[in-house]
Chain A
Amino acid sequence: MADPGPDPLAEIRNSFFVECEELLESLQDALTDLQAGSSDPETINTAFRAVHSIKGGAGAFALEELVGFAHRFESVMDTLRSGAGVAGETDTAALFRAADMLADLVRAARDGLPAPPGREAILAELERQSASAPPREAGFPTGLPSSPSERPVFVPVKLDIAGLAPAGHQPDQSGNGTGAPGSGTAQSPPGVWTIRLRPHDALFETGNDVVHVLRVLQSLGPSVIRCDTSGLPEFDDLRLLESHLSWTVELEGNVPEADILDTFEFIEGLCEISIRSGRTSPGAVSSGPDQDDPGTNPVDPGDARDGADPGRSGVTPGAERPAPPASPTITFSDRHQSLSAGGVSAISDAATVRVALERIDRLVNQVGELVINQAMLAQSMAEAGIGSGSPVAAGIDALSVLIRDIQDSVMMIRAQPVKPLFQRAARILRESAASVGKEIRLVTEGEATEIDKTVIERLADPLTHMIRNAVDHGIEDAVTRRACGKTDQGTIRLSARHRSGRVLIEVADDGRGIDRAAVLRKAEERGLVAADAGLTESEIDNLIFLPGFSTAATVSNLSGRGVGMDVVRRAIAAMGGRISIATELGAGTTFTISLPLTLAVMDGMVITAGGETLVLPLSCIVETAIISRRDLAWIGAGSVLVRLRDAYVPVIDLGSALGLASPKDGLAGATAILVADEDGSRAALVVDRINEQRQIVIKGLGGAIGGMPGVAAATILGDGRVALILDPAELIGRRTQTTEAEALLKAG
């Protein structure tokens, strides 16, 4: 146990916990199907197997609390699958709670933490519910024939141990008729056992072979084995699956009785066995042959199989089985390797490999370095005056295409389905709905949608918060719902889908919707917006993302921990994502999160503004233009608009907006980039110049600095310098907020 260095068992232990997560996931799926009314017996079987497998693995690592819980959980599920069934939502609620507890136990075991409390209550409730179901035949679960007569006969045979048998014990129960038992006991040397063995025909039907038993007996101590061939019929009468031989083993060396008994574990009931203390008298093996009979000569167990093994003819040993290949081990190992390399899923549609995440991350980083190096090379070439028509330039172009493909492939490795995220959300929903006493159904769509693993991880907290919000503030209580003509049960819809290189995640509820008047009033009370700001509906909706805003009249214990939607928005913005809201009073609210597929690369436009090199995500750029004087328009003193594509959009002098330079003197003739955010809000960003369009390796700002408004992340350019990646949506929003602040200032 304390062996340092690579420990294969520790590796398997780690992999066990990974498997547990998969099993917990399929358990959740099965329970969700049950809840939805699935009557497919395979559904409950799947759930049973998941718990059973967790128990099995936990047993191997002596995780007693996990084993104990899983065992009782499994038993209940066993009862259910034997026919009691699951009667809808009430039953599944208890099952879900048990599944959640099982998940907690798994994680506690994994992290070496104490097992969470409350297990007994959950199990008791579960068992109470299943106890009201008709009891099932005790014993093994999978549809065992219930009538005893249908069951295969297996009556454990008491072993006849003369020397040890208590008084009154009927010694000859095995019925081998070998004469007076125990007669030789007294005069035999101590520590000698005489064991007699006569297989029934049935022994061979189970693949058992006396030879192995004899060999194990032999390994226990010095022994003499005799084979009695007297029962052997004439060759012509010989039948393959009939047993004709019996054996006698004299075993010395003070072998404990239990060890001998263990040897017969598998063939108990399949043969006549007698075990006596002491040496047998010659000729007592059976009534037939005497000691000189060739049939009773001491035999090597290796010879014994010839007469008894039904897989062989008895005449030409081993002839039926093809000779093993010259190097069977290697052939076999190869097979084994190809199996395990394929995640032991040779039959599955897609073979998988498990790889340590850090290896992938290293690869991602290296590919990132490759992209940067390629950019540096291209830059040096440009500086050296190598023209684009040269073979070198063509080679570089080909290289960049290749690198891009590699990058896409690497990113695909990191992509994972959002399903675990959704399952976590489902649990949050169950727990929070239960705690506020609301009945809420979760509908999920697009669980198979894949996003970068890191995005999934960082999405967990915002999503949790949004689900709690929807449960707390979105969905009304049953009474209110009924009064509105809605069903008692509320619905929260969680969906994921890909759209034009991004992932959209929606959290939609069919609750009360956002009361804009109330939001506005609250925002005014808090001084977040001027009384006469004249905000549009969309602008009012977006007020809930402002720091410190909360619409909850009473701060509920669930989502009201001083964290609001502003935190959600910031977390999502830190991933290069955006969140938008659509709401209708009385009908519900939909939050849409738009995220990049990966946090590692993106297509960007490299620009210069305020003397600094900056990057704009290509995805938000609508077009670029040179501002013409006649397209400019002013509103009051501060706000400048420019007409682009027949619409006036606000102008943002990027260098000055970012505080990098003083405002430009004149905007006419300046280069502008028209950007749009998810809501369709647009702005024209005035820049010094546009440099190039290329792939950008995204580097995190390292947490806290991510709070910088308008800055999404950073990258390293071809010259080795760090350049900031901007978030245009934030820039547009910031301008709006600044305007508000100015308005507020004027009003105050």
Chain B
Amino acid sequence: MTLRVLAVDDSRTIRDLLRMALSEAGHAVALAEDGQQGLNLLDETDPDVIISDINMPRLDGFGFIEAVRARDRFRATPILILTTESAPELKARARAAGATGWIVKPFDAAKLIRAIDMVAG
């Protein structure tokens, strides 16, 4: 099943990796390089799943998730955060902001696809 995935990360490398893995899995990918750009692309891309980094300029992941959740249309859209450490505190904070789940970097395609399966599909 093709999902529309909006991936938000300020690292081009991570965006490239996400795009490659997601495209190979047959999903359609839109990329944004920070939370603000991600918000701007929400309506246009109407994602089934959102993947977001936390540390980003302009609007960080928490702010982005909160802003997404504030939109009725995206209140239940699954949002996965990208994090380098599986710090419980980080996950807790992300969850409080409205995140659905997380992907721990470095991720491989299988890990990524599995995380998506657990929240959408």
Contacts and interface: CB of A to CB of B under 8 A. Distances in A.
Interface in B71-121: 73, 75-79, 84, 87-93, 95-96, 98-102, 105-107, 115, 117-121
A208 B40 contact: no
B30 interface: yes
A212 interface: yes
B70 interface: no
B11 A140 contact: no
A45 B60 CA distance: 11
Given A57-B11, A207-B77, A156 B33 contact: no
Nearest to A152: B96
Nearest to B16: A12
Contacts of B84: 52, 55-56, 59
Contacts of A45: 57
A12 B75 contact: no
Contacts of A205: 69, 98
Given A55-B84, A140-B90, A346-B37, A263 B75 contact: no
Given A59-B106, A340-B19, A345-B33, 7 more contacts: A12-B20, A151-B92, A265-B118, A332-B28, A336-B30, A340-B31, A347-B34
Contacts of A310: 75-76
Given A212-B118, A266-B100, A339-B31, A142 B13 contact: no
Nearest to A57: B13
Interface residues of B, number: 63
Interface string A297-319: 00000000000011100000000
A347 B57 contact: no
A344 interface: yes
A649 B66 CA distance: 76
Nearest to B77: A207
Given A19-B13, A335-B45, A344-B33, A139 B87 contact: yes
Interface of A is mostly: helix
A152 B37 CA distance: 27
B119 A12 contact: no
A381 interface: no
A48 B56 CA distance: 10
Interface residues of A, number: 62
A500 interface: no
A151 B93 contact: yes
The 10 A-B residue pairs with the shortest CB-CB distance in the complex, in nearest-first order: A152-B96, A154-B92, A266-B101, A311-B76, A59-B106, A57-B13, A332-B28, A207-B100, A139-B89, A16-B13
Interface in B1-59: 2, 4, 10-17, 19-20, 28-34, 36-37, 40-41, 44-46, 54-57
A153 B89 CA distance: 10
Most B Cβ at <10 Å: residue of A15, A205, A309, A344: A344
Most A Cβ at <10 Å: residue of B15, B16, B32, B102: B16
A178 B80 CA distance: 32
A333 B102 CA distance: 25
14 contacts: A19-B13, A48-B55, A56-B14, A56-B84, A60-B106, A142-B54, A204-B76, A206-B98, A206-B100, A207-B75, A207-B98, A208-B100, A208-B119, A311-B75
Contacts of A398: none
Interface string A330-358: 00110110011000111100000000000
Contacts, number: 176
B92 A152 contact: yes
A238 interface: no
B64 interface: no
Contacts of B56: 49
B29 A12 contact: no
A347 B36 contact: yes
B108 to A, nearest CB: 9
A341 to B, nearest CB: 11
Contacts of B36: 347
Contacts of B13: 12, 15-16, 19, 53, 56-57, 60
A56 B118 CA distance: 23
B106 A140 contact: no
Given A335-B45, A336-B30, A207 B119 contact: yes
A59 B120 CA distance: 26
Contacts of B73: 321
A266 B105 CA distance: 16
Nearest to A266: B101
Contacts of A59: 84, 105-106
A16 B34 CA distance: 18
A157 interface: no
A565 to B, nearest CB: 41
Contact of A215 (B46, B89, B117): B117
A144 B98 contact: no
A321 B107 CA distance: 31
B95 A206 contact: yes
Contacts of A152: 92-93, 95-96
A49 B76 CA distance: 29
A347 B37 contact: yes
B14 A9 contact: no
Most B Cβ at <10 Å: residue of A154, A207, A321, A329: A207
Contacts of B32: 339, 344, 346
A46 interface: yes
Given A52-B84, A208-B78, A333-B28, A144 B93 contact: yes
A56 B119 contact: no
